[in-house]
Structure 1
Amino acid sequence: METIYYILNSNLIISSSRSFIFRVLLGWKDTNLFQIAYLGSIEKTADLHLSKKNVKVYKFKNFNDILESKEISNMIFATAQENENLKAQLSKLNQEFETNNPKSKLTTQKLQKINTNLCFALNYGTAKSRIKNQLTYKLGQAMIANSKSLWGYIRMPYVLSYIKDIHKKEQIAYNEKIKANPNLKLPPLESYPDYNEAIKLKNHLSYKLGEALINADKSKLKLGYLSLWFKCKNITKEHKDNHKNSPNNSNH
């Protein structure tokens, strides 16, 4: 096996195929191969053309004769060793390049990280999309959208009730799906690459209003609804004040 390895890593081509010889004669890609160990006979015309192309041909009756040839054996191992040395030199040069060019290495690392994050997002989505899909955020978003007109206030209870029902059905479907196949369970939110950015969504007005609504709904005898309007008004005012002080903050 070691001998075969060295043959494969040498510049020697062993062939009994006349079609291969004609490929060399026709000037195909194999013309850069300068040594051929040919099994069997070869036409005089082909031999002449090969010699003109400086292709050295070794003629043998069988494969064992090739291995027993001292000239061929020395050439195989010498060439293979030379190729191995070239590989080692290339590897060393590559390492030196990365050491002397930290920016290039840094760019590669950044590209690898982007690729990893992209694959993660394709499989599991993003932390931002998951937070926006939470009932808290969706309710708050609907509250803002329906608070801009009298008709919006009138229809708001129905819209919020509809959103809650749809969300509940989605959760039931998701739980049944992961029960059938646990591998489909989404990873913890903290493990997402964009988690640190996504967590800022909890400071959005949508999330805060939705949170106030859910807390009111969970209160004893639903008494939280009595003060909900005032709480929402204070949350909105506080959010606007913070946004004035920090224009870069989101006001969604």
Structure 2
Amino acid sequence: MKRYFITGTDTDAGKTLVSSALLQKAQQQGLTTFGLKPVAAGCELADSDNGKEWQNEDAQLLRQYSTEQQSYSTHNPVALEAAIAPHIAAELENSSLSKDALLKACRPGLNVEADFQLVEGAGGWLVPLNNTETLADFACELEAEVILVVGLRLGCINHALLSAQMVQNSGAKLVGWVANSLSENMEAQAGNLAFLTQWFDEQKVSFIGHTPFIKGIDRTDPEQLQKITDCLTLP
């Protein structure tokens, strides 16, 4: 089994879009797949085999594009209602997060046998779990190789370089990056892409692809997602 941790330069950089497309790509290449969202903030009550449970749209997508589908809670063991920083959302529910507790909660998902497993973070690399631990600590404990999704917007070069250097400084292995267009007409997009491509190449971090902005894309529709999938290569 090959396991990757997907992080982004920021919230809404496009992690779930890219993760779903990579899961679809792996399946099309004959691999079994499993997507895991350890903690998700911004959940709604939804019907399940166990009655009503809190579910997150991004985690639902990871489950949808997994060949090895399990119960929802296996794909997303920590589901928080408020769409805010996870540690704050947990506090609102009189709960708390920690690296060890999250690892324990994720164990059923981490034990799922699949050729290609993606673990998607929340927000960026240093999203807090509590006052002393971040999701970076969780990712490093997994010893998973890291893929960085760069949301192409004003400031993306700074965000990308800072994120990449923090991943590398943590001891994790950054193996690939994806450029994700967040608008139709980003000013100087070509120049930003050229700089990032050269910089990551010098760092020996593979370019996985450039995903286009598609207004109104339905991520739950495999045919529409295919337009994103075709732009990516597996790491």
TM-score range, shorter chain: under 0.3
Structure with max Cα Rg: 1
- What TM-score does the superposition give when structure 1 sets the normalisation length? 0.22
Structure (1 or 2) with the greater helix fraction:
1
Identify, as 1 or 2, the structure richer in strand: 2
